[in-house]
Amino acid sequence: MLWILTLVLLAGGVGLGLRLGAICASFSFVGMVFATLLAAVFGKIFKFILPHVGLENPVLAWMVAPICGFLLVWVLFMVAGFEVQRRVGVFYKYKAGDLRLALWERLNLRVGGCVGVLIGATWVILVSFFIFNLSYVTAQVAPGENEARMTRIMNSLGEDLQSTGMDKAARAVGSVPDDFYRTANFAGLLVQNQDLSARLGTYPAFISLAERDDIQALSQDGGLVDQWKQGAPMGAILNNDQVKKLLLDTNLVSTVWNLIQANMDDITNYLFTGQSPKYDPIKIVGHWSFDLVPALLAEREKSPKMRPEEMKELRQLWTQAFAQTMFVAGTDGQAFLKGVPDFSQKPPSPQSWTGTWSQDGANYDLSLSYNGQTETATATTDGLRMTIKMGKSTFVFQRLYY
């Protein structure tokens, strides 16, 4: 398939050279060379312009910007070529005489065809560069035979590039930023290792995002989860209504993209080891579950005269009431105290408090709100167990590991 595409591009280049003529074809060829060299430079300009003209998705803007830079430079050269070609044509048509005009037209046609070969060869190299980088992504995130036809074709073209050695020519053109390849490798790692991807939502920098209602709804979509675990085609996953809704949220996409780029190595290490050298020193960050026994001991210390039968009743009550109680702290300072029982109601109803945390020496200050009510609290932790004192209540938690 790659050889067919190569022949089509070469034939197209020759045809274009014959149609444009020597001068315009030469400008087109030189323009493509300079456009390739300057695409990244002018792409930086378009990277800031594109969000203001409707392309707010940061990933698409990052991909489209250098293409726009290439087209801008090439079009400028083409405009210049057409103008020079027009002036030369006017000279030979009206001032040089019929013989010189006939000689010029023959020379213009033949040289244009020769330059067209160069144009076609340039197209082959540029298209190879495009195929190489796009297939680098698709071969990792959508390698299956059940993928969409265009995806399978791209994967096949990528394999042909490698088998024919044309990938060397594609790489010689230049390279996209290293972040592109690192992100592709990261995406492929998640797609091909579902067990690792399940741990991604617990990465410290993603904890607050995972508490969003739309992200919670996504993780609770049983059909989508089953598709992911069974290795469904990437197109089917991206066409899920929940996924499409999230992808249209440019603020969320931008936030996730920036977090991945800023923490790529640390995320990869966390996926394999469950440890984050970057965020583990922040002891409060993570997921914490209510620890019943230490909490009962703390209550016993406050009420030393409590009788054994009262302690037994309290244990039974708390076992049920605090079964779903958790504390979650993100790296961005957000805090979530979830499933706290309200014992003023019978039976106790769970409350979920949200707010912020800040470090105060060895302790952490919390400001939590629920239903218009705001409470301050103090948390102390050694990294394994945490005690939160909020008003007259004392909560003891133990860290959850994933």
Residue 62, pLDDT score:
76
220 and 344 both lie in a single domain: no
Query: Residue 190 pLDDT more than 70?
Result: yes
Round to whole Å and give the CA distance between 181 and 132. Answer: 11
DSSP labels for 72-106? HHHHHHHHHHHHHHHHHHHHHHHTS-HHHHHHHHH
Among 216, 241, 273, the domain-final residue is 273
**Which residues touch 338 (CB under 8 Å, ≥6 apart)?**
324, 325, 326, 327, 328, 350, 352, 353
Residue 238, pLDDT score:
81
Any domain includes 237: yes
pTM comes to: 0.74
Residue 325, pLDDT score:
93
Residue 170, pLDDT score:
80
Residue 365, pLDDT score:
95
Q: Checking DSSP bridges between strand 373-381 and strand 385-390, what pairing results, if any?
A: antiparallel
C-alpha count within 13 angstroms, C-beta hemisphere, residue 337: 29
Q: Which two tokens stand for residue 44?
A: 């930086």
Among 151, 176, 201, the domain-final residue is 176
Q: Which two tokens stand for residue 111?
A: 């040289």
Round to whole Å and give the CA distance between 337 and 370. Answer: 10
SS3 at position 396: strand
Look up the CATH number of the domain holding residue 380: 2.40.128
Identify which has the larger pLDDT, 156 or 222: 156
C-alpha distance across the termini of the chain, in Å: 46
The residues pairing with 290 across neighbouring beta strands, listed in sequence order, are 397
Number of Cβ atoms within 10 Å of the Cβ of 251: 9
Residue 143, pLDDT score:
82
392 and 310 both lie in a single domain: yes
The dihedrals phi and psi of 357, each to the nearest 5 degrees, come to -130, 155
Question: Over the stretch 231-277, which tens digit does the pLDDT of each residue have?
Answer: 778 878 888 888 888 888 888 888 888 898 889 999 999 988 889 99
391 and 315 both lie in a single domain: yes
Query: Residue 175 pLDDT more than 70?
Result: no
Arithmetic mean of pLDDT, 388-397:
88
- Computed from CA positions of residues 271, 276, 279, 280, in that sequence, does the dihedral angle turn out positive or negative? positive
Contact present, 27 and 80 (Cβ < 8 Å): yes
Q: Pick from 213, 201, 218: which is nearest to 256 by CA?
A: 201
203 and 305 both lie in a single domain: no
Any domain includes 185: no
Any domain includes 125: yes
Any domain includes 22: yes
Any domain includes 350: yes
Any domain includes 107: yes
Q: Which two tokens stand for residue 113?
A: 């065809």
Query: Residue 204 pLDDT more than 70?
Result: yes
Question: Over the stretch 286-295, which tens digit does the pLDDT of each residue have?
Answer: 999 999 998 8
Q: Please give the biggest Cα pair distance in the chain.
A: 120
Distances (CA, A) of 202 to 27, 97, 165, 209, 313: 55, 80, 42, 10, 35
Arithmetic mean of pLDDT, 119-145:
88
- Percent share of the chain, pLDDT over 90: 31
350 and 294 both lie in a single domain: yes
Total structural domains in the chain? 3
pLDDT confidence tier of residue 174, bands split at 50, 70 and 90: low
Query: Residue 345 pLDDT more than 90?
Result: no
Any domain includes 281: no
Arithmetic mean of pLDDT, 58-82:
87
267 and 319 both lie in a single domain: no
268 and 293 both lie in a single domain: no
238 and 264 both lie in a single domain: yes
Number of Cβ atoms within 10 Å of the Cβ of 389: 16
367 and 388 both lie in a single domain: yes
Question: Over the stretch 272-329, which tens digit does the pLDDT of each residue have?
Answer: 888 999 999 999 999 999 999 988 888 888 788 788 888 888 889 888 889 999 999 9
Query: Residue 192 pLDDT more than 90?
Result: no
Contact present, 31 and 73 (Cβ < 8 Å): yes
Arithmetic mean of pLDDT, 212-230:
81
Question: Over the stretch 2-50, which tens digit does the pLDDT of each residue have?
Answer: 888 889 989 999 998 888 889 999 999 999 999 988 888 888 888 888 8
Residue 249, pLDDT score:
82
267 and 292 both lie in a single domain: no
Among 238, 273, 308, the domain-final residue is 273
151 and 205 both lie in a single domain: no
149 and 22 both lie in a single domain: yes
Round to whole Å and give the CA distance between 209 and 93. Answer: 69
Q: Pick from 335, 350, 314, 342: which is nearest to 386 by CA?
A: 335
Any domain includes 182: no
- CA 247 to chain CA centroid, Å, is 10
Residue 376, pLDDT score:
93
What range does the domain containing 368 cover? 286-399
